[in-house]
Structure 1
Amino acid sequence: MGLDTEYTETQRAIARFVESLASRYGRKYIRDLVSSGATFPHAMWNDIAQAGYLGMAIPEEFGGTAMSYDDVRVFFTEMGRHGLITLHFVSYFMDCLLVGAGNQAMKERYLPKLAAGEYWSFAITEPSAGTNSFRISTSAVREGSNYRINGQKVFITGFAESQKLVLVTKTDVKGTGPRKEAFTLFVIDRNAPGITCTPMNMGTHSPESQYIVFFEDVVVPEENRIGAEGAGLEILFNALNLERIVIAALALGLGEHVFAKGVAYAKDRVVFGEAIGSHQAVQHMLARAFVKLRLANLANREAAIAFDRGNDSRTVGMYANMAKLACTEAAFEAGDAAFQVHGGAGITDECDVAAILPMIRTLRVAPINNEMTLNYLGEKCLGLPKSY
């Protein structure tokens, strides 16, 4: 659908970079990775890092390029528009919470490596603590200047391929204090003694693996703690707003990618002597999807700009949750419309429509489901009673 008219010159440069990247890799690269069983897009990832786009949220003094969050939004929207999607991007940008919460020593030690493309994973979800993060039971018990960690995490994107892990733990294991002060974050070496993992069987067509990760008496030094003990949730809330903007951008771009296929097919496919796009049943379906995609894009733009303006966390949270909901819903509707327009052809590898839809659908439930975004908006923005 072309460059957005509101793009700044920097954002147009981002779009040109992604277009160049797609000319070297593109959907065939992603599909070949999936077919071969590969779990990480090394070549593409390295090119992105060398161009500075893995350091967008990192200050220049630590090797980053310090772009705005609205620029981050544009980058991921454009990646999606070219079908270059992997959930590795989501976990990677969650690790950038070090920018706001890490101490100076941690920033100097880790941020240059992240900006240069060192891949990290992020671990919060547990078998009995998905949406309800307060049920996290992976414990970190202080022992002098160290912590001893025990527990289990699930759906950890790219853990086996990562160098480090940002881990969410419970330090108030007895539950004697306020539950919002019970959790603490750590940076952990992927190969630390006591850590094991096993891959999960997934049904999506994307170049990453999900893992179950086990922690058995893993000793972590105090210096690897991110922020103060018990400050984990406060740190996470700010990072999760950025995560929602990234998810929204990825979903929106991917929805536009497959939607463009539907529009092109509607112009070219002739049935009973006429292009199917000339029929209102097809044309109106596509036009409605187009409107919803454009409105969702505006919502995500406002969320990113609110972040850049330094608005309070509640305002940013409102826009970020609105954007996540709007973009994932609009993307799925657009993808479904594209599939419907293709008819039986939508199932074929040649059209590359059916393979994309599971990822768009996944983004409606992960890493946060849309029902929880509605709960947030109902309670925090409308003042309705807590519903969960």
Structure 2
Amino acid sequence: MTKENLVSSLSSIDSSASVTILSLPNELLDEIFRHAHRGRATPAPICRALYPFQQKHLYREICVDSFDRLAEVWDALKANKRLASLVERLTISMADYAAAGVATRSVARDMFIWAILNLQHLRRLRLEHVDSEVIEICHQIVRHLPSHGPSRRLLLEAVVSPDDLALSLTSATDEFWPDAWPFALQIRDSGRFRSLKRLELGGAACAHAGSALFMFLNSLPALEHLVFLAGSTVTDYLLPGILDLAARHHTLRRLTLDHGRPERYGAAWADVGFVWREDARFEPFHLLPGWLGPVWPKDCSSHGQRAALERAPPGLRIDGEVPARLDAPPRDASWHEAFFEETKWGTFLFCRHEDDFTELRKYLGEQQASDFVREVDIETWRKEFGERAAEGPSPS
């Protein structure tokens, strides 16, 4: 309902009568309740005349975080078809069980099949830390999704995609989802995923999937966007194979690589004229903010990833954390050399500001600390180190 229509509807109400909420148009009441329940866990009681508006938005999104609650919700929806018709977003998350180290109980796949068949307006399904059968459950769900019609989104442990159909296969941990990948990769009926446009893969298991992973990707005739999530293991050996597959795939046009974090340079002390800044006081080694070391999964490296991406096929869009950091302008020195230089400067400037060089001596040792200070600030060296250097080493 547009703002102009709302104003027109309100102006049509008899101005001589006292305006109450019950006097408002139904469209406006619906809009009021749509906003009223955002972020509100426990709604307040309401009069019978307004309850239908409240109920519509109470059941639009359902979040379940325990097995007892799941049973209660299922019983309520099965008993009342009108309530079932209101559900648009359903999240079933047993993450608390996994975080506590408690093995999750099996969630019957019939429950999910019933949801797909009977929750006619369901547009978003999110399953988190359910059990190892969840991938096979997804196969069942995909079979029931219509080939045409309203957009439907399927989400597992990842961000929802705006595509007609999106699927994410991510094991929470090897301990809790040990069998997720075998379910995902043993595809005997490629028709199950004929409309899949976006696929998100995560977890260390993808590095060990071997040819099964490539067979799975080749069985997706509509795949347009392939994503490797943070924590997935796209090794220096696996990435060239992924790029070769992308070159041959008829529809794949985008590859997102978020599996590793190359090094990142922060501001250098030279950029601020080697003048002490208080925002570096509590930073490690008193660095200026922004320095991050490389974080790569096993068998991944900046050199190997860059070498593979340099041979990427033309026409393939590659984005994500990995290429963004690899494309960052390099410094004259390697990251480790630049980092060490900044730590020396940060510690020196802090010690000079505090007039106490104990920290620099502990970090570099007496001789290296003296050499560094003598090179960068001869007056400070004479005051702090010069007399001791002239005296020679103290007797043992």
Q: Point out which structure has higher relative CO (alpha carbons under 8 A, 6+ apart).
A: 1
Same fold (TM over 0.5): no
Q: TM-score, normalised by structure 1?
A: 0.21
The structure with the largest helix share of the pair is 1
Larger of the two Rg values belongs to structure? 2
